[in-house]
Amino acid sequence: MKLLKQKKALILSILALSLPAIIEMALNTMLGVADTIMLGQLIGASAIASVGFSNQIIFMLIFTFSSFNTGAIALISRAYGEKDYPKLKHIAEQNMLLNLIVGGIMLIISLIIREDIFRIYDIEPEVFTNSVIYFTIILVGLIPMFLSFSFAAILRGSGDTKTPMYVTGVVNVFNIIGNYVLITGFGPFPEMGIAGAAWATSISRTIAVCIYTYKLYIKDSKMKLKLKLFFDKKIIKPLFRISWPGAIEQGLMQLSFVVIGVIVAKLATDSETLFRILIQIESISFMPAVGISIAAATLVGKSIGEKDIHKATEVGFASAFLGVIWGCFIAILIVLFPELLIKAFTPEVAIVLIGLPVIPIMAFNQPGLNFMIVMGGALRGAGDTRRLMYYTIARLWILFIPLAYIFIINLDAGVTGVWYAEIISILFFAFVIFLRFRSKKWSYINVD
């Protein structure tokens, strides 16, 4: 409480910038969660497993190759702090072109290998077939999704977190309505099942990119961009230098969850389904921390652009404090309503029963997880993406995956083993990241 009183103005500024980003992140997550909930309630547990395997691959593509937006936020927020608006717009235009090209390449590769991807999992034929169907249709919205993330990053880096929130809200309304009418065949629409959920998501993402395009390229405003078809080395070089560690970090992070998915797939289908449900619950639980981390990245970068390292440090620690407070709050909620959370995704009693012992373990993970997310955002805003990459690789591949295998397979801990391993790895590296930020070595990084 003492910190809240002393840093009231700073915390309020972080919350003011965070709140729209928090809502946006929560709504963005709901695109996938809505599919999972509605398929679980309208079709069954096997549909949840199919969507889970598909989304795992999609998330790996999204988080790996949209990491270039991390560099864009760092560069744009510094230009914003320096009040160099022509430079800000030029960075934005280059980042959009980069996302367009990367999205196109990923689409072609994914279409070619879409069936082979799912053969890494030990899954039933029905789940395999449905995973391929869902994944193929989701790829229709891959380029719009890449562009939407790029546009949202451009706006957030320039201090506008409200527009991405509004756009994501509109997209969710379309997605939820589309899910219902296309899954069930409501009115004149055909009953498409899993394919219907995928089409609803892809169409919704296309609507999002249309809104962003109007906002940034057509509407007359100070942020009006132009379509550039050639790269500028002066912008792309620092953008790559800051972004590639984040791309590797996110790629290896998402790959680690693919590996965990392969390990969990050795369990029964009910355990696979529970794992996917708990991952969705956890992804919702830390969305406020992601929103705070976005605000932290923007404000830290802006403060560095203003040559105010002390303020940048205060922003980082105050943001991390808010992350921990949220982690404690959400942990209590998770412990109080475990059965309700699982039943939101599936009515199947067997899955609920095996999930109840796992929920308290997942709740215990929340404070450290949220702290690490926010502190990582502060370091990204400072351009310290390479060191963060090293930390993430070490956490996931030296601790998390080996420990998860030991707990799940050797010690027969089932799905609970995933969170035993995650807790150990996060607590250790949350402390390491704290020491890195406290050292202020990030203040010497040159992003130009």
Tell me the HSE value of 439 on the side-chain side, using a 13 A CA sphere.
13
Residues 434, 438: Cα–Cα separation, whole Å: 6
Q: Is 221 exposed, middle or buried (0-12, 13-18, 19+ CB in 10 A)?
A: exposed
Measured in degrees and rounded to the nearest 5, phi and psi for residue 310 equal -60, -45
Residues 345, 66: Cα–Cα separation, whole Å: 28
Domain range for residue 171? 2-444
Question: What is residue 298's predicted lDDT score, i.e. its pLDDT?
Answer: 79
SS3 413: coil
Three-state helix/strand/coil letters over 178-207? HHHHHHHCCCCCCCCCHHHHHHHHHHHHHH
CA distance to 182, 216, 233, 236, 442, per residue, from 300 (Å):
44, 25, 25, 22, 11
Q: Mind listing the pLDDT tens digit of every residue in the chain (448 residues)?
A: 555 565 677 777 777 777 777 777 667 666 666 667 777 776 766 677 677 777 777 777 766 666 667 677 777 777 777 777 788 888 888 888 888 888 888 888 888 888 887 887 767 778 788 888 888 998 888 888 888 888 887 887 777 778 888 888 888 888 888 888 888 888 788 888 888 888 998 999 899 999 998 888 887 666 677 877 777 777 777 777 777 777 777 777 778 877 888 888 777 777 878 888 888 788 778 888 888 888 888 788 878 877 888 888 888 888 888 899 999 999 999 999 888 888 887 778 888 888 899 999 999 999 999 999 999 888 888 878 788 888 988 999 999 999 999 998 889 888 899 999 999 999 999 999 999 988 888 877 665 5
Instruction: Label residue 219 left, alpha or beta by phi (over 0 means left) and psi (-120 to 50 means alpha).
Output: beta
Question: What is residue 302's predicted lDDT score, i.e. its pLDDT?
Answer: 78
Q: Is 164 exposed, middle or buried (0-12, 13-18, 19+ CB in 10 A)?
A: buried
Tell me the pTM.
Answer: 0.69
Measured in degrees and rounded to the nearest 5, phi and psi for residue 344 equal -65, -25
DSSP string, 83-105: T-HHHHHHHHHHHHHHHHHHHHH
CA distance to 19, 64, 152, 279, 334, per residue, from 285 (Å):
15, 21, 21, 10, 9
Question: What is residue 141's predicted lDDT score, i.e. its pLDDT?
Answer: 87
Query: Could you count the other beta carbons within 10 Å of the beta carbon of residue 265?
Result: 19
> How many distinct structural domains can be found in the chain?
1
SS3 123: coil
